Amino acid sequence: MTARNIAFDPPGPRAAVEEGQAFTPRFDRDGLITCIAVDARDGRVLMLAHMNAESLARTLETGEAWYWSRSRGELWHKGATSGQIQRLVEMRVDCDQDALLIRVEVGGDGGCCHTGRRDCFYRAVVRQPDGRAALEFAGI
């Protein structure tokens, strides 16, 4: 599949970026933009991942979340193997257009994290008596 129909213009002046209606996503020097995925049911933050222009275009065209896997160096159709498809309910962009927020309905078992948990943020950072920080597994 080729994303043919959506091209992204480069960012304009700051006022246009922040208060305009042109979608000019600001990709970083690796060609990526950060994307937060939250569950449309309850707003819970599920994961943070990255999109390049191609995955962003595919997400908008197909209505399902596509990311760029930095570890594998390839396009990543979320849920293609696990069934945990993320159906796009809404996409938002932040003030300076360098971050995306998507609200999704999750397919399959409703989970998201490759460790088998519902979301990726399953550990809390807690300061210990000696002042150092350690992790505690947090409840669902």
Contact call for residue 1 and a second copy (CB under 8 A): no
> Residue 87 CB: number of other CB atoms within 10 A?
16
For a second copy, the binding residue among 11, 40, 44, 105 (CB under 8 A) is: 44
Residues numbered 71-90 forming contacts with a second copy, rule: CB under 8 A: 90
Measure the CA–CA gap between 6 and 15, rounded to whole angstroms. 23
Residue 35 assigned to a binding site: no
Q: Is 93 exposed, middle or buried (0-12, 13-18, 19+ CB in 10 A)?
A: middle
Contact call for residue 133 and a second copy (CB under 8 A): yes
Give how many residues touch a second copy by CB under 8 A.
Answer: 49
Residues with Cβ within 8 Å of 90's Cβ and at least 6 positions away in sequence, in order, are: 40, 102, 103
For a second copy, the binding residue among 10, 136, 139, 140 (CB under 8 A) is: 136
Contact call for residue 109 and a second copy (CB under 8 A): no
Q: Work out how close the CB of 20 gets to a second copy at its nearest, in angstroms, rounded to a whole number.
A: 7
Residue 42 assigned to a binding site: no
Measure the CA–CA gap between 101 and 130, rounded to whole angstroms. 37
Residue ranges at the known binding site for Zn(2+):
95, 113, 120
